[in-house]
Amino acid sequence: MFYKQLDMSVEDAYDYASEVMTCNMMADDVGEGIDAFIEKRQAVWKEC
């Protein structure tokens, strides 16, 4: 995502980053990552 934004206008880069981050936040492991952070423990990731 970072490198793809380099050739975009600021507005397009923000739109693109928002889309990618929203998609990433919908992944199954997001809840596990947040819970592990709050509980100060290692995350147990699902295998891809």
pLDDT at residue 48, as a whole number: 59
Examine the pLDDT at 47 and tell me if it is beyond 80.
no
Instruction: Name the pTM for this structure.
Output: 0.59
Torsions phi, psi for 6 (to 5 deg): -60, -30
- Say what the pLDDT of residue 6 is: 94
Q: DSSP alpha helices (H): ranges in 1-48?
A: 2-5, 10-25, 29-38
Candidates 30, 22, 35; CA nearest to 46 is 30
Which pLDDT tens digit goes with each residue over 5-21? Answer: 999 999 999 999 999 99
Is pLDDT of 44 > 90? yes
**Fold for the domain defined by 2-38:** Lyase 2-enoyl-coa Hydratase; Chain  A, domain 2 (1.10.12)
Count how many residues are written for the chain: 48
Amino acid at 16: Y
Question: How far apart are alpha carbons 33 and 45 in whole angstroms?
Answer: 8
Higher pLDDT, 6 or 48: 6
